[in-house]
Structures are given as structure tokens and as C-alpha cells.
Amino acid sequence: MQHPVQDYLSSLVDRLRAERGGELATYIPVLAEADPEKLGVAMATVTGRVHCAGDADTEFTIQSVSKPFAYAAALVDRGAETVDDAVGLNPSGEAFNELSLEEQSKRPDNAMINAGALAVHQLLVGPFAGRQERIDRVVGLMSLLAGRRLTVDRATYESEMGASDRNLALAHMLRSHGILHDRAEDVVAGYVAQCSVLVTVRDLAVMGACLASGGVHPLTGERVLPSLFCRQVLSVMSTAGMYEAAGQWMAHVGIPAKSGVSGAVLGALPGQAGIAVFSPPLDAAGNSVRGVLAFERMSEDLNLHVM
Ligand code: DON
């Protein structure tokens, strides 16, 4: 007999397959070639049970879902004071690639938007780290949390590097305010590599469970992150992880979450589970249409809203 959660996820995928709507991201050329029919769901509990349904073994690039993990790594490497000096803790209410800077401090509003993620990426390892060291650090942490060695997809990396005007503009602007110090090209290249890491929904669910558990790996019992930093990451995911739709998301779904332009949505339910959905077509805010629907249904059916 199958586990009831497994049965639930399978029926959820069956119901969601009929849902239409949304557009593939096209500003990164390779993402426009994604199969819009792919749909996978996974849930990993903090006690180490993993349930998957649909296209759970399909690999896709992590994109912005890497941002909470890079943020966690920067907090570990540099401490909260240094990180908070460079990146704020408030929602921007704007699109993910806007230059949202705080009025007074000129810091990016938060670590979930591109401006904040570029600032976070530069903080990785230490003040004198090079491009490859920072990439190795963030890929290394994500691999530790996923429980397998993750790799950068060269084709996606090259495709996005060829279409990086917006991120380069953000990086140059951050340099002009003294938030970035390295060459704009180096920080953008490292950040794009971070976004080009290949994962499955199973990987993401397990990675999310590491945040949900307060930093204890659900499969090994090993402490992988300090609980205080997990709390900070989940807090910023709650207020800014779904960009300009973050408030609506919290009201309707009520799970700290992060979306990515490849079509992934990762939720981390404190004390309970990591949950991931992958379906490439996106809504106007850049969030997966079927990903949002899946979370709305799971939240209601399984009573997952944190409030
Ligand atoms: O920097 C970018 O534009 C992409 N590498 C990631 C953006 C992203 O995933 C936004 N999320 N919906």
C-alpha cells in the first residue's frame, strides 16, 4: 500500500495536469526551450520521509531558488552584521530584476531580488575570494543540503551570460553605491553559475527541509546550518520570496517560499517539511502558474498555512 501523502501528491499531479496558462521565460533563451508539460512535486519531512509524484526526476536549473541558500551561506561566512549592512530585510514590492534600493542606505531591499542576490553572492567565502571560490562555496552548500553532488549546467550558464544586460546594469549600479567592489562581470558570472545549478524537485524538497528543520539535515541528522540563520532566511522568504505576489502568497498559501524563473517553487514549512513543485509556464510575477496552484491546494487540503 502506498503512503497517504504519496497518494495525495499523485492525485494532485493528475488534477494539475489539466491546468493551462502562463508563459515560458524567454529572456534567457535556453529556458524558452523547456517542455511546458513537465510537472513534478516532492515533499520531504524534517523526519526524513521523502514523497515524490509526476516528473520528479526531471532536472532543471535552480535559478532564483538558489537565493535563500546563497543567503544562508553568506550569513555563515560573514555573520549577520556584515550581511545586513549590505542587504536589507524588507520586501521591495517590485519585480525581481528591478533596482530596488533602500532610500537611505542604498542597500538592495532584500536577498531574494536580483540586486540583493548579487550583493549576497559577492559576500560568499570572504572579502578576498575569487569568482570560482564563491561558486564552489554556494554549489557546495547546495550539494550538502541536497545530499548529492550538484553541477552547473554549462548551456544555461552560457545562454544567460549572453543575455545579462540587466544583471550587469544592476551590478554596475551597486558598484556605484559601494555595495559591490569586484568587477561587475565577475559577480554576475558567479551569480549566473549559481542560478544554473541542476536540481530535481526531490533535491529541492530535501534542501527546503534543511531550512524547515532549523538546519538539521533530515536524512543524516547532521547540523548543516545554524538555526538562527535558517530563521532569518525563512523570514525573508516569507516577505519577499514570491516577489510582488509575496503578500497574496502569504495570505493564500502561508508557507515561506521562493520561486525561480525555470518554473520551480520551493516552500519550507517551519518544523515540518520542504515542498517543491516544478512546472515551467510562469505568471506575470515570474512565478510558476501550476506551482502556485499546487501550493494553494496543498495548503488548503493538508492544512499547511502557518497561521
Ligand atoms: O538573474 C536572473 O534573472 C535569473 N538567473 C534568475 C531569476 C529568477 O529566477 C526570478 N524568479 N522568478
Residue-wise pLDDT tens digits, 253-284: 999 999 999 999 999 999 999 999 999 999 99
Q: How does strand 50-54 pair with strand 273-278?
A: unpaired
pLDDT at 1 over 70: no
Residue ranges lining ligand 1, Cβ < 6 Å: 63-64, 96-97, 114, 160, 167, 195, 259-261, 286
CATH match for 66-195 among 3.40.640.10, 3.40.710.10, 3.20.20.100, 3.40.190.80: 3.40.710.10
- The pLDDT tens digits of the residues spanning 31-84 come to 999 999 999 999 999 999 999 999 999 999 999 999 999 999 999 999 999 999
Contact indicator for 160, 26 with CB cutoff of 8 Å: no
Write down the number of H helices and E strands in the chain.
Answer: 11, 7
Cell numbers at 182, concatenated: 569586484
ipTM: 0.98
Those residues with Cβ within 8 angstroms of residue 270's Cβ, 6 or more apart along the chain or in another chain: 212, 214, 234, 256, 306
d(CA 201, CA 56): 6
Q: Which atom of ligand 1 lies at the shortest distance from residue 285's CA? A: 12
What superfamily does domain 4-63+198-301 belong to in CATH? Answer: DD-peptidase/beta-lactamase superfamily (3.40.710.10)
Q: Is 8 one of the catalytic residues?
A: no
Three-class secondary structure of residue 187 per DSSP: helix
Q: Is 38 one of the catalytic residues?
A: no
Domain ranges, ordered by start, for the chain: 4-63+198-301, 66-195
Pick from 275, 230, 259: which is nearest to 63 by CA? 259
- CA distance readout (Å), 270 to 46, 205, 267: 9, 13, 10
For residue 11, the Cα-to-chain-centroid distance in whole angstroms is 26
